[in-house]
Amino acid sequence: MVKVYIAGPMTGYPEYNYPAFNKAALQLEHHGYTPLNPVDSEQYNESSGQQPWAWYMRHAIRMVLEADGVALLPGWEKSRGALLEVRIAEDLTLSVRELGDWFKEQF
């Protein structure tokens, strides 16, 4: 199955926008994709608190490197992390599309 990384804003959002990421993951899965959700990096968080931004980005970038494409959530263009993820994906010639565009046609 095609692996699709989810990129979008987290900082400054309620619950770090995790509900939107999780909803996108379910939608992608429903349409036959394997979602790569940066929210899942929390499973590696051995502390009880939040990690620094760089910690999350290291996990996110690993997922981008595994992906066949990237699905963009609304507001991604205002996110420092999502901009970096998209830059890497584009440089690796991955398909980068708005989330809804992944459902219009198969990859």
Break the chain into its structural domains and give their ranges: 3-103
Q: Looking at per-residue confidence, does 38 or 104 come out higher?
A: 38
CATH: 3.30.1550.10, 3.40.50.2300, 1.10.150.50, 3.40.50.10400. Which one for 3-103?
Answer: 3.40.50.10400
The pLDDT value recorded for residue 50 is: 86
Is the pTM for the entire model greater than 0.85? yes
Strand, helix or coil at 97? strand
Query: How, if at all, do strands 95-98 and 34-36 pair?
Result: unpaired
Say if residues 44 and 70 touch (Cβ distance below 8 Å). Answer: no
Average pLDDT, the chain: 94
